[in-house]
Structure 1
């Protein structure tokens, strides 16, 4: 198949997204509209200036912009609009199931509580489910540059909403904030019956992947591309089949790899790891799920069976009930 034929084929397949930050799907036009609605003063005169600001140099410069952008999210309807816009994109990209991360501390630190953002998220999710059968789970992520005590307080605040939260995660500045810093709060989450994921091995070393596996007992590693630096870790991940939620456009935008042709997702897949493809923060990194697939088709010597395996891995790596997984895997095989 030609590259264009592969792209059309991938676009038509049912897919799962496992690594998506909802705050990272805030598009420039919505940011500007909400800034106007709430009279938030932005250092941008127009949409074009906002788009130019999205050309950052590293993880920290991205995070600075990310948290600044989130400051326009203030009322329930803002969070509804944010979620709804992403779910419409899921429909467009044939993402039939999404496990969506949100960062409570980004909002609670500025006085916006669970009672504001959770109803907004839930309303959009329920509407998408009713209108076209969209399947969604929420992952509550702790900000690793803050203290574990802050994460524990966040988990306590979330207790009335746990029926709508499937898992906890760990994101934000990786360097200097090893997974072991959050051992206690992840243990508490486990006792509450929550699944567990954590960012590791993107900006930080392979050692952080071991930390997430051993100290946090995670079900999945978000990113994990630097696992390749540790042969013992690679052997363990092949044996354990802990999924890696890889985000190609994000990795190249943040210079984990200088160019997409250097990306190692195909190597990880061929070694036998359960690699998956995801969008991370699509409005900031230049593309949603299909765009990430198109990027690796353009720049890596990837073949149809390998693309199929990446998509199949995402279904298997999801937290969907087994019967739903099997149903979707059957539909996927029909393609």
Structure 2
């Protein structure tokens, strides 16, 4: 289990830490398969008769020493192999929603990777319906709203992405958009230009991972070729001042994942993270957990560790990041206004 955010850093001002944890927020960059904790992986493996290449939970967690994105993905796909039935997908998402609610997440937009499962013979409907049932339960029992974003694996072909889209269309009402994830190096956004054009024709929201391991040029291609509405990660935009200015002018949201960036060696330490520079430049940055079971923490843990390591971040930055998460979400304007009002109330009380 990951360490509770409330117990992480005695050096962070207690009032600020409490505010970070208590403030309402949206999570816009969460790979639901990346929330699969080792304990649940082993429970599902036992339930489904799946043999794992690790002796126990401790051995699996000990393998979480990543040197780059690919070394993480190798373990990520092994973990996903235990997901076979609708109930498995429900249980995985429900476990995430319980943690999200405890972190005062009021809305989550979940990435899911159907190709990770359909390539193993799991039906598209099994994946979608299991996730949808958990989303409905989260709204009903926890008051957490959600949306699903279908992601294409960029290390696979554009043809495979088209096949996945066609297989998903019978479930179109259950996902609000599409994304692009997996190995960034060597797989530029241009590779998926036609499939994203088709998704836009279908009225789907479009987002893409860019500028984490890939260069700033990938962010530009995601904007110009894929015509995305959000950039997932995007932290390497700081290498191009012109791109930073463009992103600021567009109010283009960046779904930043600080613990992930450190765990995957984008930055050596959290103290080197460029989140303060992104905010200072007026970018619509947000904080998210990415693959929290693998990267050391859910959304509050990301907030607490980031603010503890970067003392220039304070109360105003916390408010901006939470407000940005609402403004960048794919929900109606009146819903965003309601969440911002709740955020204002928490800050007024603090």
TM-score (norm 2): 0.94
Residue 160 of structure 1: aligned partner:
170
Per the alignment, do residues 218 and 334 of structure 1 end up closer, same or farther by CA in structure 2, a change over 3 Å counting? same
Stretches of structure 2 lacking an aligned partner (at least 5 in a row): 1-10
Matches within 5 A, 1:56-135: 56-135=66-145
How far the C-alpha of 1:201 sits from its partner, in A, is 0.2
1:284 to 281, 291, 294: 294
SS in 2 for 1:129: helix
Residue 326 of structure 1: aligned partner:
337
Matches within 5 A, 1:1-335: 3-301=13-311, 302-335=313-346
- What is the number of equivalent residue pairs in this alignment? 335
Whole-Å Cα distance in 2 between the matches of residues 46 and 319 of structure 1?
A: 40
Whole-Å Cα distance in 2 between the matches of residues 306 and 60 of structure 1?
A: 32
Residue 8 of structure 2: aligned partner:
none
The structure with higher relative contact order (CA 8 Å, sep 6+) is: 2
Does the 8 Å CA contact 1:3/1:297 hold for their aligned counterparts? Answer: no
Stretches of structure 1 lacking an aligned partner (at least 5 in a row): none
How far the C-alpha of 1:130 sits from its partner, in A, is 1.1
After superposition, give the CA deviation of every residue in 1:189-232 in whole Å (9 maximum; x if it has no partner): 00110000000000000000000000000000000000011111
TM-score (norm 1): 0.99
How far the C-alpha of 1:3 sits from its partner, in A, is 2.2
Larger mean CA deviation between 121-130 and 278-287 belongs to 121-130
Whole-Å Cα distance in 2 between the matches of residues 305 and 200 of structure 1?
A: 27
Does the 8 Å CA contact 2:29/2:288 hold for their aligned counterparts? Answer: yes
> What is the Cα-based RMSD across aligned positions, in Å?
1.0
* Displacement over 4 Å in runs of 4+: none
Whole-Å Cα distance in 1 between the matches of residues 67 and 182 of structure 2?
A: 16
Whole-Å Cα distance in 1 between the matches of residues 183 and 13 of structure 2?
A: 36
Per the alignment, do residues 310 and 46 of structure 1 end up closer, same or farther by CA in structure 2, a change over 3 Å counting? same
